[in-house]
Amino acid sequence: MLKYIFIFFIFLLVPVFVSAQVVISEVMYDIEGSDTGHEWVEVTNTSANAINIVDWKFFEEGSNHGLTLITGDANVPSGSSVILVDNSDKFFVDNSQFSGTVFDSSFSLKNIGELIIIRDADLNDINSLTYDPEIGGGGDGNSLQLISGSWSAATPTLGLASVAVESAGGSESSEISQSQNSSSLGSPSSSDDFPVEQRIFADAGVDRSVIVGADSLFEGKSLGLQKKTLEGARYIWNFGNGETKQGQNVLYYYQYPGEYVVMLNVSSGQYSASDRIIVNSYPAELVISKVDTEFVEIHNKSTRELNLSWWQLEAEGKRFIIPKDTIILSGKKLIFSFDVTGLDTSVKENMSILYPNGVTAVTFAQIKIPQKVVEIITKPPVPIAQVTQPTKETPIKEKNNSLDGGEEILQDMSQTASVISNLGEHGKSSGIYKWLLAIFVVIVISAGIIIFASSKRELGDDIEIIE
């Protein structure tokens, strides 16, 4: 009976013995600059067997934080290390070449030191550490590392622990070091004489020019060990302006003009690869040059050709998406007919070009040339005064009336002035020169009448009437 109890007791202790062979081997608790979200902890399987830690916990500041597998395998092989990170996105930005196993958790390591514990799924303490900032690693770029059983500050060695590992037989142990651990091909080697051969390949595409504010599709590709498309790989894009995105194919737009280096990092298990392209971002110089009931005309006024993939034309609330790889050459125009777009362009001012994300880029503005208004004032024509003809019947005058000559002269002058006055009124619109001509005529006629009257009066004085 005692034999069976002893065997049962040994059976209960086996998981503890196996689990106890996972240790905290490195701590990065204080990154240079702002360390929020950039901290990480390395744990190493020092046993002779693989251990699955997917349901394990990381205890810190009174909380048991769960572990979420991001890359790699939850079964940690013997002698391998995995990284527990506070923020996986920030971690891969900081360590883009790392391709080992990563678990995302939620913690914030204190810069003054604290107790941290690795616990199994049943919350049994597997390994614990109260790290001491006096050893080093306080914002100086170093991490705290367990090397040959003692802690010291040194340059970070992600995934390359240097701790004792139990041999397969369980009777002997060996120490893994940076040159022996191959869990991360992206980490530095202890020797520069034997470069690591690339096992997978990444392709970020070709250099390109994009438009400020317009989404562009970045398509990543990768090849595996057999030079075939890599399945299940992790793609991380760094757009060279502080922003990153994850995914094999992503849409991205730049807010400002410039020339950017775009990096693509691909990781699959313990292998990683990277590629880079140059992206030139510049403002769009597109205008809607003409809107007709039958078509819409777009003009590229820039010195570069533009790719209008997924741009949109909008009119009266209806949109037409421009197909992928529609190119408009530098200084050239494109015409989209009504038969293709189906847009109602009867109201020209409602025609717009939209970015692929639906934001308005250009609106049609019809140029209206102001017309000069000339006011024409019309006046009724001035009637021509009729000149009355004197009657043929003349009044009978006595021959001896010496005043007749003077009266006739005054009457003739009056009629002449009346005629000239009527002519003058009729000729007002002809100009001032007609007035001068009229005055000259009046003066000549008046002088003639005066001379004629004077000669007649002298002739009358010489005639004597005999009764």
Spell out the per-residue pLDDT of the chain, length 467, in tens.
444 444 444 444 444 344 448 899 999 988 877 778 889 999 999 888 889 998 999 999 888 999 999 888 888 888 889 999 988 888 888 887 788 899 998 888 888 888 999 999 899 999 989 988 888 888 888 889 888 778 888 888 887 766 656 555 444 444 544 333 333 323 333 334 444 454 788 999 999 888 888 888 899 999 887 777 888 889 999 999 999 999 999 989 998 999 999 999 998 877 888 999 999 998 888 888 888 888 999 999 888 888 888 889 998 888 999 998 899 998 999 999 888 988 887 777 778 888 887 888 888 865 555 555 555 555 555 554 444 444 444 444 444 444 444 444 445 555 544 544 554 455 454 557 777 787 888 888 888 787 776 665 555 555 554 54
Angle, CA of 249, 250 and 256, to the nearest 5°: 145
Question: Does residue 429 fall inside a structural domain?
Answer: yes
Q: What are 7-34's pLDDT values in tens digits?
A: 444 444 444 344 448 899 999 988 877 7
**What's the distance, Cα to Cα, between the start and end of the chain in Å?**
205
- H or E stretch covering 424: helix 404-426
Q: Is the domain of 135 the same as that of 223?
A: no
Write phi, then psi, for 179 (nearest 5 degrees). Answer: -80, -15
- Conformation bin of residue 435: beta by default, left when phi > 0, alpha when psi is -120 to 50: alpha
Question: Does residue 46 fall inside a structural domain?
Answer: yes
Q: Is the domain of 159 the same as that of 267?
A: no
Write phi, then psi, for 244 (nearest 5 degrees). Answer: -130, 160
Question: Does residue 344 fall inside a structural domain?
Answer: yes
CB 39 within 8 A of CB 107: yes
Q: Is the domain of 23 the same as that of 115?
A: yes
Write phi, then psi, for 208 (nearest 5 degrees). Answer: -150, 165
Question: Does residue 323 fall inside a structural domain?
Answer: yes
Q: Is the domain of 35 the same as that of 66?
A: yes
Is this structure's pTM higher than 0.85? no
Residue 278, CB-side half-sphere exposure with 13 Å CA sphere: 3
Q: Is the domain of 292 the same as that of 259?
A: no
CB 314 within 8 A of CB 344: no
Task: Tell me how far apart the alpha carbons of residues 240 and 262 are, in angstroms, rounded to a whole number.
Answer: 5
418-420-421-424 Cα dihedral, nearest 10 degrees:
160
Question: Does residue 112 fall inside a structural domain?
Answer: yes
Residue that terminates a domain, selected from 327, 346, 363: 363
Question: Does residue 237 fall inside a structural domain?
Answer: yes
Question: Does residue 182 fall inside a structural domain?
Answer: no
**Number of domain units in the chain:** 4
* CATH classification of the domain holding 46: 2.60.40.1260
Q: Is the domain of 117 the same as that of 245?
A: no
**Domain of 439?**
409-455
Sequence-distant contacts of 361-366: CB under 8 A, at least 24 apart:
361/213, 361/214, 361/284, 361/286, 361/311, 362/284, 362/286, 362/287, 362/288, 363/288, 364/288, 364/291, 366/291
Question: Does residue 6 fall inside a structural domain?
Answer: no
